[in-house]
Amino acid sequence: ASSDYDLSTPLDSKDAVGLRQGLASYGDPHFSLFLRKVFIKALGYSEDALSRPIIGIVNTYSSFNPCHANIPQLMEAVKRGVHLAGGLAIDFPTISLHESFSSPTSMYLRNLMSMDTEEMILAQPVDAVVLIGGCDKTVPAQLMGGLSANKPILHLVTGPMMPGSHNGVRIGACTDCRNNWAKFRAGAIDIEEIAAINEELAPTAGTCGVMGTASTMAAILVGLGLMPFAGATAPAVSSARLRIAEATGANAVAATRNAGLRPQTLLTRDSFINAIIVLQAIGGSTNAVVHLMAIINRHPGLTGEPITLNTVDAVGRNVPLLVDLKPSGDGYMTDFHNSGGMAALLRQLRPLLKLNAMTISGRTLGEELDLAPTLGPAPGSPNSVVSLLTSPLYPASALVVLRGNLAPGGAVMKASASKYRRLLNHRGPAVVFAGAADLARRIDDPDLRVTADSVLVLQNIGPVGHPGMPEAGLVPIPRKLAAQGVEDMLRVSDGRMSGTAGGTVVLHVSPEAAVAESVLGVVKDGDIVICDVERRVLEVEISEDEIKRRIEERRRKLEEEGVLTKEGGPARRIRGYRGLYVRNVNQAEKGADFDFLTAAGGL
Ligand code: FES
Ligand code: MG
């Protein structure tokens, strides 16, 4: 270790780079290292400790984030794993995003968290990082940032919460938040009962216990090869979760010795195809489509045919829905874990998967599957929520991509979560809401002209229109129809919906209503909207000339009101992060990332 101060020793001669990273900061490299050691030794580290590979642990604990409440124990276990494997673990914070405490919406802050993650990984002398996250936007943000930073990344999610119980029936956030709220709105349950349910919906630490966005992203991490199989499903409060954390620490030390495990090398087109196969097979969250597009567009070196929304749809046509979890089905994440979890699922999917894709262990996905023990009841048996590939829950295409004059850039729908399947091929008159405020004002108006066959169209909740693209796409059933027993209607918007929600809901319409050339932005009450999932069509029955005329008329109006410049950009100067956001966010089809953060970004 004393050779670190020997001016004739080249500092890059060691395996573990550690404190030698980016040594130009303070004049000569030896002095830079000397100075860094001065300060890190104030924390009590020895020369021996500092000569080890340094594993950064990204700490996203916050007292506002119950989904991350177990992070202190997880960090302790990761550190144990790092130290047992001969590394030095050093944790550091980044921002923490909880779905309910990230106003106006967590998606607004996802890109900020990704920048925080990327820059702190780059700024600090870490050889690899363990990214601890879990709540919906945190895994995508960490993967986007980690992929751009391109040091080895190992994901550790906090894990799903346990289900609660009401009147002897299991309930869980947040599918049952919505179901029960809808019952309360319709007058089927009273105020005492909804209050009792409120106490039980999130009964432990951890992420939402259904196949919402958090669980979906966790499963996708396994599909990408960035997390061990059990990592996606072990409950937040289980000892298994802590053992996974310990193993992740050890794996991180090993990953520092293999340059092929940097994310831009490890993640190939095949890795992303596997991720899409997983997404379709679990009937995952529609949000994951936006996140996957953002992640893919961060990758500077993907070869082969570009992966777009069309790829998500095309892959889905050959992938059946195999996991019976809410909101598409009935179970909770604990059921999935007890059914063998991702290993059981991936064994069923084996004929479809790209088995040669590399994983962070240094073994291929196929090799990992060969090594994984077979746990849980036999897939397809009554005790398992995993179906056989040969007798799926839904034949294919849980998530579909629709296109047509209403969504030239695409729109996404979770067809498997539709309640009334007849709505998957539907034609009805639009009832248009100009934004979230307009919707709140009028949706329960007894005089609203709406029937069960109407199409509820919500404008201006896209990335630019309502910065962050809130999860308002699940337009509620108008109260007067809900009271008549209507549980599902065709809904169309440029927003998102919670991964824990269900219904016949078309989301992420691109270009969004706030963009001057958007067709969604000029749809009017009474226009006939056509949704045909079989043909993947989303159209509005108005002529091209009429569309052009309406768009021109709207553009003139927006210019007159001083909202748009003649060039089509926003006219007002908006300060701060919000300004950065609306000036730079791209459309949902590209991931709603900032243009300057994409691999193609920059000048
Ligand atoms: Fe954090 Fe659902 S609120 S995962
Ligand atoms: Mg969610």
What pLDDT score was predicted for residue 16? 59
- Could you tell me the end-to-end alpha-carbon distance of the chain, in angstroms, rounded to an integer? 44
Of the candidates 334, 133, 322, 101, the one whose C-alpha atom is nearest the C-alpha of residue 230 is 334
CB crowding 67-83: b at 16 or more within 10 Å, else e: bbbbbebbbebbbbbbb
Place of tokens 């130290």: 83
pLDDT tens digits along 538-581: 999 999 999 999 999 999 998 888 877 766 666 678 899 999 99
Q: List the beta bridge partners of residue 412.
A: 401, 507
Distance of CA 510 to the CA centre of its chain: 19
Tokens of 417: 């979560």
CB 107 within 8 A of CB 592: yes
Distance of CA 311 to the CA centre of its chain: 18
What pLDDT score was predicted for residue 602? 67
pLDDT tens digits along 348-394: 999 999 999 999 999 999 999 999 999 899 999 999 999 999 999 99
Which atom, in ligand 1's list, is nearest to the CA of 136? 4
Ligand located closest to 496 CA: 2
- CB atoms near residue 89 (< 10 Å): 25
Ligand located closest to 212 CA: 2
53: Cβ below 6 Å to ligand 1?
no
Tokens of 594: 């900032």
Q: What are the φ/ψ torsions at residue 153 (nearest 5 degrees)?
A: -120, 135
99: Cβ below 6 Å to ligand 1?
yes
- Going from the Cα of 105 to the center of ligand 2, the distance in angstroms, rounded, reads 11
513: Cβ below 6 Å to ligand 1?
no
82: Cβ below 6 Å to ligand 1?
no
CB 70 within 8 A of CB 205: yes
| Helices and strands in the chain: count of H runs, count of E runs | 20, 14
Read out DSSP for 72-92?
HHHHHHHHHHHHHTT-EEEEE
CB 64 within 8 A of CB 98: yes
Mean pLDDT for each consecutive 10-residue tract of the chain (603 residues)?
74 71 76 90 95 96 98 98 98 98 96 98 96 98 98 98 97 91 90 97 97 97 98 98 98 95 98 98 96 98 97 98 91 97 98 98 98 95 97 96 98 95 98 97 97 98 95 94 94 94 95 95 98 98 98 92 72 87 95 97 70
Q: List the beta bridge partners of residue 57.
A: 91, 130
What is the percentage of the chain residues whose pLDDT exceeds 90? 87
Instruction: Report the residue count for the chain.
Output: 603
What is the percentage of the chain residues whose pLDDT exceeds 70? 97
Gap between the Cα atoms of 36 and 23, Å rounded: 10
Sequence-distant (≥ 6) Cβ neighbours of residue 430 within 8 angstroms: 454, 455, 457, 492, 523, 524, 525, 526, 527, 528, 529, 540
> Could you give the 3-state DSSP secondary structure of residue 324?
coil
pLDDT tens digits along 318-347: 999 999 999 888 899 999 999 999 999 999
CB crowding 383-405: b at 16 or more within 10 Å, else e: ebbbbebeebbbebbbbbbbbbb
67: Cβ below 6 Å to ligand 1?
yes
214: Cβ below 6 Å to ligand 1?
yes
Q: Is the ipTM of this complex over 0.90?
A: yes
H or E segment and range at residue 37:
helix 29-41
What pLDDT score was predicted for residue 1? 45
- Going from the Cα of 265 to the center of ligand 1, the distance in angstroms, rounded, reads 31
Q: Whose CA is nearest to atom 2 of ligand 1?
A: 208
- Going from the Cα of 423 to the center of ligand 2, the distance in angstroms, rounded, reads 24
